[in-house]
Amino acid sequence: MWARKRLDIDGLDLASGLGAALTCRQSERQAMQEQLERGWLGSSPGVALACLSVRSGFDLLLQALQLPAGSEVAISALTIPDMVRIVRDRGLTPVPVDLHPATLAPEPASLERAITASTRLIVVAHLFGTRAPIEPVLEKARSCGALVVEDCAQAYAPGFTGHPEADVSCFSFGSIKRATALGGALLRVRYPALAELMRQIQAGYPLQSRLAYTRRLLKYAGLKALENRPAFAALVATCKLLGADCDRLLNQAVRGFAGGELFPRLRQQPCTPLLALLAHRLRRYTPARMAAQVECGETLVRLLRQRCPWVTVPGSAAPYRSHWVVPVLAENRQALIAALAAAGFDATRGSSMCVPDAPDGPYLPATATGQVFERLVYLPCYPAMSPAALVRMTAVLAAQQGNMECFGVLGASAGWDGKSPTLATDRH
């Protein structure tokens, strides 16, 4: 069985994290954070800030901005529920911006409709490893005085610190993210005074528990072991035997924060071992490592286009694709997932994202994004899979034509010209 995902961290990285958890001293924290931030930012404009998570950083931003209650935040209509919760918690109104199903970029007409005199912030998510061209958003934001936040949680790439003109760009190193440090985030903030304010608020937070982080490192060392195919097959078989829902179990296991209240969990400073592991990951994460994933995703997209051109791959028409994940759209997800499982591929519908409702008033619901969201199936796709495995997986999808056919329409509307895409290399 090919597991749904490979955690993007190796045993040696986990060992390095455990080493840091055992040895690094509290007194090194300040220097470590500065070095991490400086090293990542390089010559990019603005100021870097390391946080516990993107959600923590976004929450800091909203606290620092002190926007008047009732201000509106236009936000990419496919995001994680907590981002929407954080907006609501500050008394602000999230307004979804519909996305193009094939490029996942904000639809200009929907953006236009979502912006009002009360819009103070526009949050654009770069989904599934794509980079949405944000120039139209920047232009719109400048004309109405809103700030632009880039949610790059799914779009880390070595050397990429976000669009130079974005006001804030946020990168996540949560457990399922690229170059993960099992937590942590880096934000690039354009305005030093704003960054300083955020830093001061963060400095008042309690420190993340080192013990909890060490346990997390150990737990993931265990999950890593499941990536071994026989071990994973055994887990699936055991769940079946016990009547347990393996899918839910795995989704829960990799959720960023365990149960309990959201805000106390977000409002912590990253512990020193987390900063150390994050710095280690960034130092060691090579463009070649990422290129292998990009290549794997592009190969799969190419195969799908050749053998089942009716399949819609959200994001595959984006100008830049790094394939953090590769989803397809299916009418009957359960049938597709079952067919893939029977052939040895652990696809999943995922459960971590949402499409926020439009608020009352003149706002339009994010219809296209809603249609995508209800049909998403994530395929396993990572360099450990041989090209032959990708071909076999494509054959399963080809046999599901009736299940996927109707959404060819969505793909076609992207104006994809049928030519093979330019390989998404690490252009910035």
Contact residues for ligand PLP (CB under 6 A)?
Answer: 53-55, 79-80, 83, 125, 151, 153-154, 172, 174, 177, 185, 256
Q: Which is nearer to ligand PLP, 8 or 308 (CB)?
A: 8
State in angstroms the smallest separation of the CB of 59 from ligand PLP: 9
Q: What number of CA atoms fall less than 13 Å from residue 34's CA on the CB side?
A: 5
State in angstroms the smallest separation of the CB of 352 from ligand PLP: 7
State in angstroms the smallest separation of the CB of 153 from ligand PLP: 3
State in angstroms the smallest separation of the CB of 176 from ligand PLP: 7
What is the C-alpha to C-alpha distance for residues 320 and 105, in angstroms, rounded to an integer? 11
Q: Which is nearer to ligand PLP, 53 or 93 (CB)?
A: 53
Q: Which is nearer to ligand PLP, 264 or 415 (CB)?
A: 264
State in angstroms the smallest separation of the CB of 172 from ligand PLP: 3
Q: Which is nearer to ligand PLP, 58 or 310 (CB)?
A: 58
Q: Which is nearer to ligand PLP, 262 or 341 (CB)?
A: 262
Q: Which is nearer to ligand PLP, 256 or 411 (CB)?
A: 256
State in angstroms the smallest separation of the CB of 139 from ligand PLP: 23
Q: Which is nearer to ligand PLP, 354 or 389 (CB)?
A: 354
- Nearby residues of 152 by Cβ (< 8 Å), 6 or more positions away: 126, 160, 162, 169, 170, 171, 172
State in angstroms the smallest separation of the CB of 209 from ligand PLP: 17
The candidate with the shortest Cα–Cα distance to 298, out of 323, 265, 279, is 323
User: Is residue 275 a contact partner of residue 50, using CB atoms and an 8 Å limit?
Assistant: yes
State in angstroms the smallest separation of the CB of 104 from ligand PLP: 11
Burial of 347 from C-beta contacts in 10 A (0-12 / 13-18 / 19+) = buried
State in angstroms the smallest separation of the CB of 335 from ligand PLP: 27
What is the C-alpha to C-alpha distance for residues 123 and 131, in angstroms, rounded to an integer? 13
Q: Which is nearer to ligand PLP, 176 or 328 (CB)?
A: 176
Q: Given the DSSP bridges, would you call strands 185-189 and 47-51 parallel, antiparallel or unpaired?
A: antiparallel
What is the C-alpha to C-alpha distance for residues 87 and 357, in angstroms, rounded to an integer? 13
Q: Which is nearer to ligand PLP, 158 or 184 (CB)?
A: 184
Q: Which is nearer to ligand PLP, 181 or 304 (CB)?
A: 181
- Nearby residues of 241 by Cβ (< 8 Å), 6 or more positions away: none
What is the C-alpha to C-alpha distance for residues 370 and 207, in angstroms, rounded to an integer? 38
Q: How far apart are the first and last CA of the chain?
A: 36
Q: Which is nearer to ligand PLP, 72 or 151 (CB)?
A: 151
State in angstroms the smallest separation of the CB of 379 from ligand PLP: 17
Which amino acid is present at 130? T
State in angstroms the smallest separation of the CB of 400 from ligand PLP: 27
Question: 49 forms bridges with which residues in the sheet?
Answer: 187
